[in-house]
Chains A and B, each alone.
Chain A
Amino acid sequence: MRRQAPIGPFHWVYRVERLCRLYFIIIIDEMKRSREFLAQHELIVMLAVLRLGREAYGVPIAAEIADKTGREMLQGSVYATLERLEDKGFVVSELGEATPLRGGRAKRYFRLTAAGVRQVQQAQRALQSLWVDLPQIAGKT
């Protein structure tokens, strides 16, 4: 049931309270959506991990992205994205071998979890359905 707006000098308090509640709902909703939807670079990194399979560690992931998209991604950015995906539960990582070439530091291999694979499939379906029946894009590139 909707509350009645109070009349009198405290009317503005009621309005501010309603506004705050609205913003709170919007922020929470946005946070939920940001967890559910993949950002473009997150999707790109996940696809690179999928493509590389068992060889997916930092260097080949960045190389694969550069090769397929033509965009150089900062190594730190690749790791920041992977860390965020790991927090979301879409990616897991394990330490591999250390080599002299790497200054004795171990490689960290990444792979997609079942939830991660589902996310990629959903993104694929969503993108494909958006492309269907789309008239040819006009305009100069």
Chain B
Amino acid sequence: MRTRAPPRLAAWLLEEFGSSARMEALIGDLAEQFASGRSPLWYWHQAGAALVLDLRRALRTHAPSFIAAVLLGYAVTELWRFGNSLAFSSVYRNLDTSRHGLTQDTLMRFLGLRGAQASLTVLTFLTGWLVTRVHRAHPRAVLAVFALSLVAQRLPGAAQLIARGLDGSLPWARVIPELVPLGLQSVLTLLVGLWMIRREGFSQMRLQVRLVAILTLALTLGSAFFYDLWKVGVLSYPPAVRFPVDAAEIASGAYLAVLFWRNFKEPRHDQIPHNPPGSDRSGEHRGGTRRRHAESAG
């Protein structure tokens, strides 16, 4: 008989952002009650409350390091961006997308844009690592708050662009390329951070995940490569090609996130089963575990 599976998104949120050491047991308890007939609304209510309680506890017990981690990540991001704008200002100045072929100037500008992009990629990895290092007690929660703060910081700019697109003062063909990278850094920071927390090597991933990861990477790098060639005027990169590639990039990134959720559920270090207090119960399901323990003891 198939058991009722709880709402996936709620379960995923608990799994990914619950930082308490007891979260695995709590998710199991909720799944058990859901299977016995509770409603999806009940599950969402319980999951939401558990996350709020978890965050409150994290803030109460580790507030200084939690706040320090977010602020440090934020400060590094801002400093890095400022340094980037100084270092690559000449590259960004007077970009002309009308085609004028490959010259020494366009080549240098293209390399400059690539350098700026590489620098921002390093920043994504650095902040993801830094934030989870400074606040080790609740790495997922601090990472989520940091990524959300990056989104929140860019919301006014995004709203302004959308407003200009709506009133027609800026064509959508120019608004969309500005909006795509707005949230991309936050999403990438979150994904990179989660991957770093899990410490899973590429070779350990399942084939399907590896393929999607390669596809996402190829689309991201390829799209950025052609964008830069278009920005310096070497290549024509019309919206009819640009936007589907952007959409494919986002879709593949989202699918990768789904695969992360489905395939990367490994037990945490504190989930190694022991005999429960009632030793008479121990033989029911865990004969294998007991055998392994006996073997390792021997």
Asked if A and B are interacting partners, one says: yes
Q: Which residues 50-94 of B sit at the A interface, judged by CB distance below 8 A? A: 50-54, 57
| Alpha-carbon distance between A111 and B275 when the two chains are bound, in angstroms | 13
Q: How far is the CA of A27 from the CA of B275 in the complex (A)?
A: 41
Q: How far is the CA of A105 from the CA of B49 in the complex (A)?
A: 20
Contacts of A80 in B (CB 8 A): 53-54, 57
Interface status of A102 (Cβ within 8 A of chain B): yes
**Residue contact A79 to B22, C-beta cutoff 8 Å:** yes
Asked if A55 is at the interface of the complex by the 8 Å CB criterion, the answer is: yes
| Residues in A whose Cβ lies below 8 Å from that of B54 | 76, 80
In the bound complex, what is the Cα–Cα distance between A97 and B28 (angstroms)? 11
Q: How far is the CB of A107 from chain B (nearest CB, A)?
A: 6
Assuming the contacts A97-B281, A98-B285, A103-B31, asked whether A77 and B49 have C-beta atoms less than 8 A apart, the reply is yes
**Which one, A79, A95, A99, A109, contacts B271 given CB within 8 A?**
A95
The residues of A that contact B273 with a CB separation of less than 8 Å are: 95-98, 106
Does B29 touch A at the CB level, under 8 Å?
A: yes
Q: In the complex, what distance in Å separates the CA atom of A111 from the CA atom of B274?
A: 14
Contact of A79 with B276 in the complex, beta carbons under 8 Å: no
Q: A106-B24, A106-B271 are in contact. Are A75 and B277 (CB under 8 A)?
A: no
The interface on chain A, measured as residues whose beta carbon lies within 8 A of the other chain's beta carbons, has a size of 32
For B31, the closest partner residue in chain A by CB is A103
A25 contacts the other chain (Cβ, under 8 Å)? no
B254 CB, nearest partner CB in chain A, Å: 23
Mostly, the B contact residues are: helix
> Does A76 lie within 8 Å of B46, measured CB to CB?
yes
Contact A107 B25 (CB under 8 A): yes
Those of A3-52 within 8 Å (CB) of chain B: none
A86's nearest neighbour on chain B, judged by CB, is B22
Please give the number of chain B residues whose Cβ is less than 8 angstroms from any Cβ of chain A in the complex.
39
Q: CB distance A74 to B46 under 8 Å?
A: yes
Confirm or deny: A100 has a beta carbon within 8 angstroms of a beta carbon on chain B. Answer: yes
B160 at the interface (CB under 8 A from A): no
Q: Identify which of B3, B52, B274, B276 gathers the most chain A CB atoms within 10 Å of its CB.
A: B276
Contact B31 A102 (CB under 8 A): yes
In the complex, A109 Cα to B276 Cα: how many Å?
A: 6
Residue of B28, B51, B274 touching A102 (CB-CB under 8 A): B28
A window 44-100: CB within 8 A of B: 53-55, 57-59, 62, 74-77, 79-80, 82-83, 93-100
Q: How far is the CA of A93 from the CA of B273 in the complex (A)?
A: 12
In the complex, A46→B35 CA distance in Å?
Answer: 27
Residues of A within 8 A of B30 (CB): 75
Residues in B whose Cβ lies below 8 Å from that of A57: 25, 29
Task: Report chain B residues within 8 Å CB of A58.
Answer: 25-26, 28-29
**B278 to A102, Cβ gap below 8 A?**
no
Contacts of B20 in A (CB 8 A): 79, 83
Is A101's CB within 8 Å of the partner chain B? Answer: yes
Which one of A54, A74, A79, A83 has the greatest number of beta carbons of chain B within 10 Å?
A: A79
> In the complex, which residues of chain B have a beta carbon less than 8 angstroms from the beta carbon of A111?
277
B residues in contact with A108, CB < 8 Å: 22, 24-25
Q: Which chain B residues numbered 97 to 153 have a C-beta less than 8 Å away from chain A?
A: none
Cβ distance A28 to chain B, nearest Cβ, rounded Å? 17
Alpha-carbon distance A100/B2, docked complex (angstroms): 9
Q: Quick check: B31 and A109 within 8 Å, CB to CB? A: no
Closest residue on chain B to residue A61 by CB atoms: B29
Query: For A101, what are the chain B residues with a Cβ–Cβ distance below 8 Å?
Result: 3, 31-32, 35
Contact with A along B248-288 (1 / 0, CB 8 A): 00000000000000000000000111111110011011100
Q: In whole angstroms, how far apart are the Cα atoms of A74 and B24 in the complex?
A: 16
Query: Which 10 pairs, one residue from A and one from B, show the smallest C-beta to C-beta distance?
Result: A76-B50, A105-B28, A54-B278, A96-B276, A108-B25, A58-B29, A102-B28, A97-B285, A103-B31, A109-B276
Sampled A-B contacts (5; CB under 8 Å): A54-B277, A75-B46, A83-B57, A97-B285, A101-B3
Q: Which residues of A contact B (CB under 8 A)?
A: 53-55, 57-59, 62, 74-77, 79-80, 82-83, 93-103, 105-109, 111
